[in-house]
Structure 1
Amino acid sequence: MLSKLLRCVAVCVVVSISGCGSAPVKRDEIAGNYLKQAEEKRQASDIYNFSSYVDRALYQSNGAEKVKAYFAITPAARKSFKDFQIGICSEVSSPQEANIKLGNLMSLSKDDILTSMEISECSALIEKQVIDGNLNGKVAFDLGDNTDAFPILKNSPHIELIVNRTIKHLQENKSNSRPVTQLMAYIEKGGVGSPLAKKVSPLLSSMNIKRSEFESVAKVYPDFVRMRMEMTPTRVFTQFKNADRLLSDDIQTLLKNKFDKVQWVTTSDENTVTLNIDRLRNDERVIPESAQTITYGFFDVNIVYASLYMPKNASYLYDIITGGAQIEYGYEVTAFKGGKKIFDDVARGRVGGESSRCQNQRVQNVFGGVSPANFVANDDMQRRCSSNSTVSIDRLRNEVLTYIVSVVGSIPEIKEMQELN
């Protein structure tokens, strides 16, 4: 019986690997297979996925020829694809999306999938979205975005909007690309004595200029860079309230490691930032671990494993250990300089979760004998044990301290000094 079962398993494995006897798909057939799926989606009126499969076909080496042949014998499919492309050209929400969609159009033009008239229609729709969106802010370009495909954006009133938006993004740290170099190049082109150069000069201190950007800024504002390089590092004196020695030492260590450009001092004067951290709440709760034994009968276990590793009518057992931890916290963070409060915030919230793990897998025969089990019994066990997780109170404490440190990093003097370097 066992030999027959093993032969059955072997056959199942072979069939699984070979794809039930089907031959592997050849590379030059991939595009055709995508188009078959595209037609199925079109017949089901699922135009989004229809177009997606056509796009996948176009990415193949012989995709353009296959798509053109498909469209030639199925004009309705070509119309559906064209209409879908026109539809997506009518919806642009970001500069990046505009450039991507225009690039896709150029590929369709190169492969002769759409006519020049259709390409022009789509391009005009994208350009209209870009022009209107740049004016109303819905497609907000700044100098870090590529405008080569939209030359109208280099003229008034667009360029003025783009420059002002760039300044605002730098002030708010909203531009991922931080186009400081592009902004300085634009100002330099107009002249260091231009109205724009004079307008930007007093705004530089609010634009979060970093040391790595000094070279670009110095071409237009050398005095600003010289002054920033000569700046005295921010000095911070930290005080703790309602915190034990271990907690205050842990926070101080994290602060020094995180903000290494700041001078952390042990005395305060009128030029020093005094940082106060007051523990308002720190309630820790640990859920004791408990064990639950799960038992499967012989016929509930995967038939192959049961036949190979379990005596007849034996049971499979294992233990699920559950527990957890939670911290509810609140810390007031304030900062003073020269007797004036410059920062006030509260770091508060709740962290925690449940832990679960499976252990002590074993097989117990009908006479009570027990032996270790080194296999997963069935899908139910796989589901229960696949998400083993551990939540420790020490890890949660570190999460709380990390969040407190992030709030401290929002203090303007500390943030500016750290970003400067």
Structure 2
Amino acid sequence: MARTNVRTAKERLKDLTDVAESIHVDHKNENLRRYFISSKQLYETAKYEAAHGNLQKAYMLIMRFLDIYVTRLPKHPFYDNVPEDLRKPTKALWVKALDLGGQLKPKVLEEFEQIVRAEEAELAQNDPRSNASGSANLDDLLHRINTLNEHNGPSAPYFESPGVSWPKVQSDPVSPDEAFANSFSGGLGPQALPLVDRRNKPRSRLPSDALREVRVPSDLVDRFGAAASENTSQKNIETCGNLWGVRDQGAYIVTHVIIPKQKGTDSYCEDLDEGAAAELAISENLIQLGWIHTHPSQTAFLSSVDMHMQHGYQIMLPEAIAIVLAPKFNDIGFFRLNDYGMEMIGQCREGTNFHVHDESYPLFERIKEGVVTDGTKQTKLEDFRLR
């Protein structure tokens, strides 16, 4: 049978695994606490999605867990510096994660097989060479053979090119803030090209409804802005905080903003004791849902360093958001890296210094749906700078 441009179930599964593993663990980074703080969250999120029938998402997340914690981190040069009390709980999840991955793989393959069959049926139905009833596959094949025989003689076999027609990657229009962000160079010289150019390689996107809704209390931005006001208006330095919350009725609810001890400049902010803030959140069984920071003198966008920070949150939870406050421009932005951005940043080796990424496609986007403000909730703000 001639091959159509419908991708096989195994190819789709391979794409999903590629998405899971399209990350970079920086071997220059001595601080691995964030990975181990988030390990249980990543495993539990995969388990939760599996229990609720989101098999592709669950498989991608559990494969990401195995890639990070079983394959990559044990080879990290600073792995042995991580306290045993952090490593031990993660190791305890290895066997459970392998078991969950083994259970999910045949189910995901079957789900992809169903998708393949549906796509092939649709192609056959829409094929102009098919008759009106859509049941003339054999007659169509015989017609092709007879036609070829008329032109080439009775021994001429029918062949069709086995090549696969890959779907084109469509890019979203670039918004003004994305254009500004992607053109921001900080005077660092020529543009850096991607280490691996995969723009034309098909990537298995999760279904559009796979991301759960994120609800943000309507007072969150004002409360964080007030806490950051001295840095913003008087010192012209950035302030950052972490968003934590819970999962409730299929949605993520931001309940806490935790501001860690930190240092910053007019374009950068760094946690100085992320572990202490995380311990408080974990003690209350909270989930890390992203982060929030200010741009005292710039518009709301994700800088090159911001994108690496967001990548770290998003590999652990695809729903994770970045909120940027730009009071000088009266602008508030809710952002995520897009598929290309996740892959591009995952391949980039420049994390802590400002640098330039490939500008052919936008790497992040303003969130247009799936994040809502909730006037019925109030934010709990914990400021570790005051402790």
Same-fold status (TM-score > 0.5): no
Q: Which has the higher contact order (CA 8 A, sep 6+)?
A: 2
Q: Which has a greater percent of helix?
A: 1
TM-score for both structures, normalised by structure 2? 0.21
TM-score for both structures, normalised by structure 1? 0.19
Q: Which has a greater percent of strand?
A: 1
